[in-house]
Structure 1
Amino acid sequence: MENKNFDVIIIGGSYSGLSAGMALGRSLRNVLIIDSGKPCNRQTPYSHNFITHDGKRPGAITEEAKDQVKNYNTVKFHDGTVIKTKKIPDGFEVKTSSDEHFSAKKLILASGVKDTMPDIPGFSECWGISVLHCPYCHGYEVKNEKTGILANGEMAFEFSKLIFNMTKDLTLLTNGKSLLTNEQTEKLKKNNIDLYEEEIAGIEHENGFIQKVIFKNGKTLSLKALYAKIPFEQNMNVMDDLGCELTEQGFIKVDFMQKTNIPGVFACGDNVTMMRSVANAIAQGNFAGAVANRELSEEDF
Structure 2
Amino acid sequence: MLDSVIIGGGPSGLNASLILARAKKNIILFDEDKPRNAVTHESHGFITRDGITPSEFKKIAKQDLMKYPNFRLYNERAMDIKKEAGFFSIYTESGNVYISRKVILSTGLVDVLPSIEGIHDFYGTSLFTCPFCDGWELKDLPLVLITENPNAFHKIKLIYNWSRDLIVCTNGKNALSREQRELLLSKKIKVIEDQIATLHGSGGKLKSIRFKNGNEIERKGGFVAAGLKQASTLAKSLGCKQLPNGGIEIDHFGRTNIAGVYASGDISLSTPSQVINAASEGSIAAMGVIHDLVNEDF
Range class of TM-score, shorter chain = over 0.9
The equivalent position to 2:69 in structure 1, one of 65, 68, 73, is 73
**Paired AA for residue 119 in structure 2:** F
| Structure 1 residue aligned with 2:130 | 134
Alpha-carbon distance between aligned partners in 2 of 1:93 and 1:219, rounded to the nearest angstrom: 57
Q: Which sits farther off after the overlay, 256-265 or 96-105?
A: 96-105
- 8 Å CA contact 1:152–1:180 kept in 2: the answer is no
The equivalent position to 1:278 in structure 2, one of 275, 280, 290, is 275
- 8 Å CA contact 1:150–1:228 kept in 2: the answer is yes
**Residues 117 and 181 (structure 1), Cα distance of their counterparts in 2 relative to 1, 3 Å cut:** closer
| Structure 1 residue aligned with 2:183 | 187
Q: Which runs of 5+ in 1 are unaligned?
A: none
Alpha-carbon distance between aligned partners in 2 of 1:135 and 1:15, rounded to the nearest angstrom: 19
Question: Deviations for 1:56-98, whole angstroms, at most 9, x for unmatched residues?
Answer: 1111111101110111110101111122122111321122222
Q: CA deviation at 1:28?
A: 0.6
SS of 1:167's equivalent in the other structure is coil
Q: Which sits farther off after the overlay, 280-289 or 230-239?
A: 230-239
Alpha-carbon distance between aligned partners in 2 of 1:172 and 1:294, rounded to the nearest angstrom: 48
1:148-227 maps to which residues of 2 (within 5 A)? 148-227=144-223
SS of 1:213's equivalent in the other structure is strand
**Paired AA for residue 276 in structure 2:** A
SS of 1:77's equivalent in the other structure is strand
**Residues 233 and 177 (structure 1), Cα distance of their counterparts in 2 relative to 1, 3 Å cut:** closer
Alpha-carbon distance between aligned partners in 2 of 1:88 and 1:218, rounded to the nearest angstrom: 61
Matched, 1:297 2:294: yes
- 8 Å CA contact 1:150–1:156 kept in 2: the answer is no
**Paired AA for residue 230 in structure 2:** Q
**Paired AA for residue 31 in structure 1:** I
Q: When the two structures are superposed, what TM-score results if normalisation uses the length of structure 2?
A: 0.96
Identity rate, percent: 34
Root-mean-square deviation over aligned CA pairs: 1.3
1:1-301 maps to which residues of 2 (within 5 A)? 5-273=1-269, 275-301=272-298
**Paired AA for residue 279 in structure 1:** I
Alpha-carbon distance between aligned partners in 2 of 1:7 and 1:153, rounded to the nearest angstrom: 42
Question: Deviations for 1:219-254, whole angstroms, at most 9, x for unmatched residues?
Answer: 222212221111121111145411011111111111
Q: CA deviation at 1:100?
A: 2.1
Q: Detail structure 1 runs of 4+ shifted over 3 Å in the superposition.
A: none
- 8 Å CA contact 2:113–2:226 kept in 1: the answer is yes
Alpha-carbon distance between aligned partners in 1 of 2:214 and 2:290, rounded to the nearest angstrom: 59
Alpha-carbon distance between aligned partners in 1 of 2:241 and 2:162, rounded to the nearest angstrom: 36
SS of 1:155's equivalent in the other structure is coil
Alpha-carbon distance between aligned partners in 2 of 1:77 and 1:239, rounded to the nearest angstrom: 21
- 8 Å CA contact 1:122–1:205 kept in 2: the answer is no
